[in-house]
Amino acid sequence: MKKEGEIEFIKDGKRVDGRSFDELRNIKIDVGVLKRADGSCYFELGNNKVLAAVYGPREMHPRHAQDAKMAVVKFRYNMAPFSVDDRKRPGPDRRSVEISKVSREALDPVILREYYPKAAIEVYVEILQSDAGTRTAGINAASVALADAGVPMRDLVSSVAVGKVGGEVVLDLNAVEDNYGEADMPIAMIARRNTITALQMDGNLTKDEFEKGLKLAMKACQQIYELQRTALIGRYDKDESANFKDRST
């Protein structure tokens, strides 16, 4: 088993996968990939494969969980058992419950929940393949799926992680960097408003490294925002007749 320190994270100014410090992995976004859902998005971030579906606004069950003033956002982050090296036992564990909460709170600020009192807006994120950064991929996918569902939103939310490996602050950790690196800090933000809606950190960072990482992540969120926007526009640009298919079936 390799330990921190045995891996050469940085070589000739490049990372283990050849990326530079401030380089994102490849991102692929497909909008409206599921037929039954009101909105959906398939999101790839390097080797991460993530699917998000949105249902609603619809009636909130159980009724005692309704909010008389605004819609309740439900968010479920779930990993497929085959998405990781060692099979993950199906169902929610403590990690996924926490990620679901943080992700929901990352999206809450942009959803015009007050338009739908007593309703539920349900967001389901399935991690089909995991390679570090799944929660950020999930938030990105969910944000696009919400827009695809036509849920009224102030803006999109974009998310990315920064971390520290081999003494350097780097963008968008891959699995090796995440497992054996020194710190991992996922953030989500409303890119056009420079407003941060999710922030977590584990590992060890100095205050200066934290501030540098935050800036790096905020810059990358602008890039991701552009990709999300382009993907959404692309969906309604291609074939007019396919766009407004009957979703009641």
Partner 1 sequence: MGLEIMDDVRKDFVRNMLSEGDREDGRGFREYREISLKRDIINKAEGSACVKLGDTEVLVGVKLEIGSPFPDSPTEGVLITNAELVPLASPEFESGPPNEKSIQLARVVDRGIRGSGVIDVEKLCIEEGEKVWLLFLDIHVLDNNGNLVDAAALGAIAALQNIRVPNERYGLTGEETLQVHDTPVDVTMVEIDGTIVVDPTCNEENAATNRLTVISNADGSLSGLQKTGSDGMKEETIVEMVGLGIEKAGEIREKFLKVPS
From CA 223, how far away is CA 211, in angstroms rounded?
19
Nearer to partner 1, 68 or 240 (CB): 68
* Residue 176: CB minimum distance to partner 1, A: 14
Nearer to partner 1, 85 or 239 (CB): 85
Nearer to partner 1, 141 or 183 (CB): 183
* Residue 239: CB minimum distance to partner 1, A: 36
Whether residue 117 is preceded by a cis peptide bond, meaning omega within 30 degrees of 0, is no
Contact residues for partner 1, defined by CB under 8 A: 1, 68, 86, 94-95, 97-98, 100-102, 104-105, 108-109, 183, 185, 189-190, 193-207, 210-211, 214-215, 218
Nearer to partner 1, 98 or 237 (CB): 98
Contacting residues for 121 by C-beta, under 8 A, at least 6 apart: 54, 55, 56, 57, 71, 72, 73, 74, 111, 113, 146, 151
* Residue 101: CB minimum distance to partner 1, A: 5
Give the HSE-up count for residue 204: Cα atoms under 13 Å, Cβ half-sphere: 4
Instruction: Name the nearest CA neighbour of 67 among 122, 121, 118.
Output: 118
Nearer to partner 1, 31 or 102 (CB): 102
Contacting residues for 206 by C-beta, under 8 A, at least 6 apart: none
* Residue 189: CB minimum distance to partner 1, A: 7
How many Cβ atoms from other residues are within 10 Å of residue 215's Cβ?
12
From CA 249, how far away is CA 247, in angstroms rounded?
5
Q: In what order do the strands lie in the sheet with 39-45?
A: 27-31, 39-45, 48-59, 119-129, 72-79
**CA max distance for the chain:** 59
* Residue 59: CB minimum distance to partner 1, A: 18
Nearer to partner 1, 6 or 240 (CB): 6
* Residue 208: CB minimum distance to partner 1, A: 10
